[in-house]
Structure 1
Amino acid sequence: MTTPRVTAPEPPADGSRPTGPASYFAGIEKTHGRPIQEWLDLAAERLAVEPHMAVVSWLKSEHGMGHGHANAVVAYVRSSLA
């Protein structure tokens, strides 16, 4: 089975701030030093076989993310795949 790819959102064209889970993405990149696309790919791969909160827990324990950042990544992937 191929994991579907969820692409990172483009910044709003009007220069406004992103809303919802995407509002965390700049902070995630800055804090964790990896592009948001890498985090989305990791979460999508895990969500193919694990529930939401298991993926959140994995991001927290294995990658040192806080709950808000981890949940934002997983929520964005889940909503994009729905």
Structure 2
Amino acid sequence: MTDAVKGPASYFPSIEAKYGRPIQDWKDMIRARPTQKHMELVAWLKQEHGLGHGHANALVADTLRSEKD
């Protein structure tokens, strides 16, 4: 039995399907903006790339969390 993906990563399949980019591309773009805060990055993804709030927030949260690990 496999465990279901939880948290921000649970959005990743639908993000890839809807926006046509691999998750790694999104994470690389987020990491390229190290001076911006969480909500600034969410707003940027929404405004510049047309992501919905939930998808943008999930990408930023997961990327920033992995940077702290």
Q: Normalising to structure 2: TM-score of the pair? A: 0.91
Aligned-pair Cα RMSD in Å: 1.0
Structure 1 counterpart of 2:43, from 57, 61, 64: 57
User: Per residue, is there more helix in 1 or in 2?
Assistant: 2
Off by >4 Å, runs of 4+ in structure 1: none
Give the AA of the match of 2:61. A
Superposed CA deviations along residues 11-64 of structure 1, whole A, max 9, x for unmatched, are xxx543211000000000000001111001111112x11111011000000000
Gaps of 5+ in 2: none
- Which residue in 2 is equivalent to 1:38? 25
Structure 1 counterpart of 2:9, from 7, 19, 22: 22
Give the AA of the match of 1:59. L
Identical-pair percentage: 51
Report how many residues are paired: 68
Q: Normalising to structure 1: TM-score of the pair? A: 0.78
